[in-house]
Amino acid sequence: MEGQDLILKSRVRLVRNIHGHSFPDQCNLEEGDRITEKILEAMKHEKEPYTYYRLRDLDYLKQLYFMENQWISIGSISQIEKSSFFLSDDEKISIMIGEEDHLRLQCMDFGLSLTDCYYRLSSLEERLDESLGFAFDRRLGFLTACPSNLGTGLKASVQIHLPALEHDGMSPIYRSLSKMGFEIRELYGTNVKPLGSIYEISNEKTLGNREEHYLSRLEKIALELVQMEMEKRKNLYFEQRVELEDMVYRAFGTLRYSKKISYEEAMDCLSMIKLGTDLSLLKPKKAINIYTEMNKIQNATLQKDVDYLLKEEEKQEYRAKYLNRLLKEVY
């Protein structure tokens, strides 16, 4: 299907708790350590290689780097004394320990890959359940700290680049998805100012249907949004060409020649570069993955490259130099 490269990533998460233990917000540090030791013991039987990290042993910059890459959540950092996680060698599976729940198993992969992510994660979950014994009720399903996760404990999402739909306003899409039991949110930024026109669509309900039901519906919604985005792009190209070219070329000039640039402005400009490239307004000399570049210019990821904390102005200057070189090499 045309436009599937607009789907950056798929993510599937399963929330689980170990029978007989308090939820993380109710257990003390000693019980939290016992839970962690049980999970560490269970993970010794996994054939796939993982690296284990305790958040309290990591410096602040590394914590932020892991969070920017979505391997851990803000909830993990807020429970820093109890929280730890495993990361698979291919960086697609992360296992968060001691966040809101005992375990948050997560698998991410590029493109529309919900089914592959789910079955890879489901296999891991079954093996851990045999060793740990997850809290389960025949009527309510898997028991979770937050009632909104009861049942399957499944949270599936896709991340999609939607600049043309955003140009005309996203309110109708928000309302429509809400009625269907799904939610859409800005992946970066806030409800006031989304960054890079990247949105994450996910299921709101976790109780009442099997996991496959939510996954298939989400996949269908994602493909429908891609189709809507492609139609809007055609309208922009043929009916608002001057406005479109102005947005794209302004963004190009900013990234090519600016001396300092904020993360927020750089994200919006890269979004326009991607749109302009997709519509052949910009013609790259060599392949470029704009979504990868968006990840590289995040604050912690940017500072990881220089391996020390930068002041805000230094970050903006470093980011601008990187993007200047990138556009010179590619376009």
184 in helix, strand or coil? strand
32-44 residue pLDDT tens: 889 999 999 999 9
C-alpha–C-alpha distance, residues 53 and 42, integer Å:
16
C-alpha–C-alpha distance, residues 70 and 72, integer Å:
5
Q: What value does the mean pLDDT take over residues 259-278?
A: 97
274-283 residue pLDDT tens: 999 999 999 9
Longest dimension (CA), the chain: 64
Half-sphere exposure of 70 (CA within 13 A, CB side): 18
76-116 residue pLDDT tens: 888 888 899 999 999 999 999 999 999 999 999 999 999 99
pLDDT band at 10 (very low <50, low <70, confident <90, very high): very high
Place of tokens 């994602």: 222
Residues 238/240/246/251 CA torsion (nearest 10 deg): -80
Does the pLDDT of residue 273 top 90, yes or no? Answer: yes
Q: Are 166 and 197 in contact (CB under 8 A)?
A: yes
216-237 in b/e form (b: 16+ CB < 10 A) is: ebbbebbbebbeebbebbeebb
DSSP 204: S
pLDDT of residue 193: 64
Going along the chain, which residue ranges are E strands? Answer: 7-16, 50-54, 84-88, 93-97, 103-110, 136-137, 141-142, 154-161, 182-186, 198-203
